[in-house]
Every structure is written in C-alpha cells, then in structure tokens.
Amino acid sequence: MKLYRKLFAYMPERKIQGILAVLFTLIGTCMLFFAYYLIWTLLRDVFIGTIISDAKKRAVVILILFICHGLIYFLGLWMSHLAGFRLETRLREKGIKNLLKASQSFYDTHKSGEVRKIIDNNVEQTHMIVAHLIPDQTAALITPIFMAILAFYLDISLGIFFLVIVG
C-alpha cells in the first residue's frame, strides 16, 4: 500500500482512476462468482433430476454475467492504464528534470543514452505495476475470499474442506 501511495503522489488527479480500477475489478469478480453459483445450481438441478423449465433462461443469465465480468474487468484495466500512463509521463518528466540539474562531471562518467535507457526501463516497469498489477492484485486478493464464501454457502463441510486445503 505504501508503494501505491508513493506512486499516486506523482499524479493526485488520477487517484480516482486507481480507486475505480479496484472497484470495477471487485464488481467484475463478484459477477463472476455469481455466475459460478448459477452454474452450480443449474448442474445440481440437472443431476438431482429436477424439472428445469427455466434452464435456457438461467444459461442466458450466466452468459450475460460472464460477458459483464469481462467488460467490467476491462473498465478496471482501462482506469488503471489511464493512471499508469499519467504516472509514466510524470516520472519521465521528473527524471529528465533531475538529469538537467546534474553536474557536468556526471556526464563525464555516464553516457547520456545509458542514463536515458535506465530511466525509460524503470518508468516502463513502474507503469506495469500501476496499469496491470492493480486489477490483478485486486482479483487475486478477492478471489479466495469469494471462493470461501461460496464454498460455505453451498455446504458447510465444503467450506471447511476449502479452508483446510487453503490454510
């Protein structure tokens, strides 16, 4: 969290995009697990032998949930990329400003192209942290929590088994 706080200090006007990225990823993951739950109920009814007259309707809802998950997750990625590109620009600007303040002896020992390459490589890696890892880390954090909730909701013994396996 400290890392993101430090990175977002370079672009306070884009902080809302980081928050929206987390929120969209959370909503998308929630939709995904609701779709999994509906698949489970549909399969349960098929295997139990219950007459399922609304199977087509449930299948369409499941498909819509999967599509909505993809779209909302994409929105989260988009928001994080907006923040990541702004961060990339700001870090390059700051790096170049600091290079301009460097003494001439610095340039005697360091080639300008190498320094520029170092700045560009590090800025690209930082962009990856913000643009890709925010949604990925959110999904990775939320998925086991939703999985445990779903396991306990379906069956207490399944939930306990899940906790034993994971924990």
CA 29 to chain centre: 10
- In which element (H, E) is residue 9 found? none
Element (H, E) at 69: helix 55-100
pLDDT tens for the chain, residues 1 to 167: 787 788 778 888 888 998 999 999 999 999 999 999 999 999 998 888 887 888 899 999 999 999 999 999 999 999 999 988 888 888 888 888 888 887 878 777 888 788 888 888 888 888 888 888 889 999 999 999 999 999 999 889 988 988 898 87
Domains along the chain with CATH numbers: 14-166 (1.20.1560.10)
Q: Nearest Cα to 148, choosing from 128, 131, 164? A: 164
This prediction has a pTM of: 0.82
What is the residue whose two structure tokens read 């993951």?
29
Residue type at position 96: I
